[in-house]
Structure 1
């Protein structure tokens, strides 16, 4: 940039051709990103580009990754407060740069103070339209889909945002391979019927129809997280559900007692280690009901229940539930895909799938979706 070229500051709501990825509200002053993989994207023709970001948290800080022309170039933790971040400078002003600034960490239900907002941009050039991609995919899942442990050494055990990644992640990899726009709905430890520790409130289906309803606190309510999601604003061609690992964990974990009511919840095993039939039925029913909810809100999508990156013990139950749903609904645009199990070689941090495991899953899922769409 020459000395006489000044950067122009533009409020995010006034930026032409700014594309917002991920579920959010209609509020654009500022733009709030809630879910992992959510992003702001634009094409910039200029030498320099900055964004004004506001980060808030009590316990768990937001992280972002910056992708330029399809390649990740930086990743950083955000400190509290509002500040300008330089995305690039000194680049050829005549060349158009595609820029994505991606929320690298899941919606943090355990930290009501956590938020990430975009207020403005600064550039010396023009902002041009972003190409519309031909395919839309929604991913629904747990810690695997949140990218927990997808980055970091195998020895890492701390549950902190640093070890989450939206990019070293089968969701990003699959979408890139298919040239698709994508969204993620995910939460570590949560399941279809309950969370890994038997808490029945830790289930994704209950909050699926809100913008980001699993978030708590006055701040998130003010930001619109609890509002009903407008499904007509973005209709996926494919919905990939990767849930069941934490439901399996609930069978292996101690009972959970509701601190308010004293009610005890437990998915039980029989003495021989098999699943208690009554409790397994609860899981299967939850799968069926979630498929009904998914179809209601995504009438034209092919729904894939993809499962198995951390074992596939509940796969027979998922098959039974999906078969029952298909029989009752006569909805044949629903299928099951067993994913490659994570091995010692492909393990990441926190005994979760690492980047190699995510890559293997992305390859299998990409091939499956390509064949399915043909």
Structure 2
């Protein structure tokens, strides 16, 4: 909260001009600075009583707000540069010759306008505007979080009318770089606001949580809007707004920064022949604003204090390591530890989460585990560093982006899981929305031996299918059950259960989500088999917390039959 107030006070103090009348009192920027200093405890004197109640407190901030949204004079146009005085700088940006260059994926400028009738933004381009039509820098302009323009920058200078209204409007406006640093930046030159407010434009406030994302093409949202896996790379199909990174930050109401490049790795960038490729190593550029000149200047990490860094690397390294895991795997671990050292040095108070797996490469995960364990001991980070293996993309159900990259649906699923991991690590409350709470549950068969039930089972790690071949089914349907547990449920949560099953045609099988002792049933439905892989879905709301609930489908009472479950998911939807 202190971070929010500090940002607001600083923005008001720096950008205010002239004086404003409120409650028959004139106040100036110096008053705002005094109030900010006093409220934040930076000084015991110099408080500012803006509303004449003989006390300097939060109500004086309300006085500021009232004065900001009221008309104070004639309508006029004000043109300002895209600097911290007027806009919030998001991510790694480079300011040069009056232009703020949005270099990294998701780099942005964001600002609030008050009582504005018109807003226009002048954009700048460098030589990358001469790239091929489908490989130029892509950007979007958002008004109140809704995109009003999405396109590639094809001119060295362009002025975009963002707002044109007959009535005074308050809005939050963001200019964001959608494509990646490798293909050039988007420059923001100036912003012109037509308004009758004393402060027509101010930076939006900093958020209480900041997440840094260090990654490769997955983090860049490579091909997220591609038509299929056979389409090659284009910046026109990159959209950071659909990246798991942006979605995670949005879900947690966090600020973010990135250091991500397609093809990059820890010990080797993408290799087409299995030989080591050192042309794109993340560690070589982590301490710079970007990898390519002229933007590859040192980055001041202190400008963006980070609470947690997410490292999603190793997919490209696998093209090298896979030729000889025994030798190259430990090499990767050593380089990974060195990268963690750079990250920890830049942000010594930040937690670290490491992951891999969205595009497969499960063979690399043990080497990441080893790197995390080594760094945990050498750095003394303890429980502030962890790793997990991301679920591999479900290409059959969720689709694929360009060049076999993750679809938007996959990014959404990844964001839900990562958000939950961040909350757990930082001790925050997670709503678990979007989480498949059955993802890590164990598949077993429950047999009533007293009724003579007996069956054989097989679980496939490849597609998580569970086959039960009933030899003797006992007397009741409940004598043979496929049971999946433990499943954590939250009171008041709404869940969607989906699966496919193959069972004897026409059979009607009870399906339950219940407590471990069976006394509480949260969902009680019937599955009717209609051929191979019959789909099933049901929604229900839980009335109490249950950390060890279970799924069950019952098919006893019949000898010599089989039931196979496929693609079972239990996702919290609200």
TM-score by length of 1: 0.85
TM-score by length of 2: 0.56
* Aligned residue in 1 for 2:336: 287
Q: Distance in 2 between matches of 1:116 and 1:84?
A: 13
Q: 2:176 aligned with 1:62, yes or no?
A: no
Two-structure CA RMSD over aligned residues (Å) = 1.9
* Aligned residue in 1 for 2:121: 51
* Aligned residue in 2 for 1:259: none
2:282 alignment partner, one of 204, 214, 225: 204
Structure 2 unmatched ranges of 5 or more? 1-73, 428-574
Q: 2:84 aligned with 1:84, yes or no?
A: no
Secondary structure in 2 matching 1:144: helix
Q: Distance in 1 between matches of 2:230 and 2:144?
A: 31
Whether the 8 Å CA contact 1:12–1:28 is kept in 2: the answer is no
* Aligned residue in 2 for 1:215: 292
1:176 alignment partner, one of 244, 250, 260: 250
Distance of aligned partners of 1:85 and 1:303 in 2 relative to their CA distance in 1, 3 Å threshold? same
CA displacement at 1:328 relative to structure 2 = 2.4
Count of residue correspondences: 336
CA displacement at 1:285 relative to structure 2 = 0.6
Q: Distance in 2 between matches of 1:28 and 1:43?
A: 24
* Aligned residue in 1 for 2:374: 324
Distance of aligned partners of 1:175 and 1:203 in 2 relative to their CA distance in 1, 3 Å threshold? same
Deviations 1:96-119 (A, max 9, x none): 2111110001101xx5xx332111
Deviations 1:135-192 (A, max 9, x none): 0010000000011011131155232211111101111110011110001110101111
Q: 2:395 aligned with 1:350, yes or no?
A: no
Structure having the higher strand fraction is 2
What aligned pairs does 1:113-192 form with structure 2 within 5 A after superposition? 114-125=184-195, 126-154=200-228, 157-192=231-266
* Aligned residue in 2 for 1:340: 391
* Aligned residue in 2 for 1:103: 177
Secondary structure in 2 matching 1:210: coil
Q: Distance in 2 between matches of 1:316 and 1:55?
A: 43
Secondary structure in 1 matching 2:92: coil
Secondary structure in 2 matching 1:123: strand
* Aligned residue in 2 for 1:226: 296
Distance of aligned partners of 1:155 and 1:231 in 2 relative to their CA distance in 1, 3 Å threshold? closer
What aligned pairs does 1:302-317 form with structure 2 within 5 A after superposition? 302-311=351-360, 312-317=362-367
Q: Distance in 1 between matches of 2:153 and 2:113?
A: 23
Deviations 1:243-292 (A, max 9, x none): 0110112245xxxxxxxxxxxxxxx33xxxxx2x2211111111111111
* Aligned residue in 2 for 1:263: none
Secondary structure in 1 matching 2:147: strand
CA displacement at 1:321 relative to structure 2 = 1.5
Distance of aligned partners of 1:367 and 1:91 in 2 relative to their CA distance in 1, 3 Å threshold? farther
CA displacement at 1:74 relative to structure 2 = 2.9
Q: Distance in 2 between matches of 1:91 and 1:360?
A: 42
Secondary structure in 1 matching 2:117: coil
Secondary structure in 2 matching 1:316: helix
Structure 1 unmatched ranges of 5 or more? 253-267, 270-274
Secondary structure in 2 matching 1:362: helix
Distance of aligned partners of 1:11 and 1:229 in 2 relative to their CA distance in 1, 3 Å threshold? closer
Q: Distance in 2 between matches of 1:305 and 1:143?
A: 16
Secondary structure in 1 matching 2:176: strand
